[in-house]
Amino acid sequence: MDWKEYDHPQYGKVEIGGFKKNFGRAHPGFLLESDAHRNMAFTIYHSYHTPKLSIADIKEKDLGNGMTEVTATISNERLMPTHSSQDIKNKIERPDYISINTNAKVLAGMVMNDADLNISTIQKMNPSTIEVENIPGLGTVKVKWILEGKGNYTISVDSKKGGIASRTK
């Protein structure tokens, strides 16, 4: 603030002004260690909660006529989702890919919107690799494939921020 003269009742004419009281908020040197420790603790905690994906559950159901329904539950075990709301809104990063690798023919692939009511969204192109826009923090995503034929398969998740996870059955 600019310096001004002020007529103080006890001291007479004085000048008031200079830096504002809260202008600089840097701690004194002896508190620097505790500041750095708090910052380090927060940074480690923050990085711990970045997405960690796993395939929690795989279920098979025989549909007859040589067809099998495979349902997989993809779990994010940490607080942060694989995509932020701004990322989803502005389509900044690629979606997460959940794929099945098998010798059997993949007839359909879908994301389960409501597993209890069996409501799903079918992916029309490339049914073996399902695109999911987000896997929520401390949440799950269910996907389902219809296979023609038998054989072993590997389900894998590929997320830019959540990493790669796979499980063979």
What's the pLDDT tens digit per position in 43-93?
A: 999 999 999 999 999 999 999 999 999 999 999 999 999 999 999 999 999
CATH number for the domain harbouring residue 106? 2.60.120.570
Cα 29 to its chain centre, rounded Å, is: 38
How far is Cα 123 from Cα 145, in angstroms, rounded to an integer? 10
**Closest residue by Cα to residue 80 from 142, 155, 163, 144:** 163
Closest CA to 48 of 137, 139, 122: 137
What percent of the chain has a predicted confidence (pLDDT) above 70? Answer: 97
| The predicted structure's pLDDT at residue 27 | 76
pLDDT for 162 beyond 80: yes
User: How many domains are there within the chain?
Assistant: 1
Let me know: does 113 contact 122? Beta carbons within 8 Å.
Answer: no
Q: What is the pLDDT of residue 15?
A: 92
Residue 156 lies in a domain: yes
In-domain check, residue 1:
no
Q: What is the pLDDT of residue 150?
A: 85
Residue 35, in any domain of the structure = no
Position 23 scores a pLDDT of: 60
Report the half-sphere exposure of 63 (CA within 13 A, side-chain side).
Answer: 14
Residue-range definition of the domain harbouring residue 117: 51-168
List 156's β-bridge partners, or say none: 99, 166
Task: Report the share of the chain in percent with pLDDT over 90.
Answer: 86
Nearest to 90 by CA among 130, 133, 124, 49: 133
> Quick check: is 129 in a domain?
yes
Please indicate, yes or no, if residue 116 is contained in any of the structural domains. yes
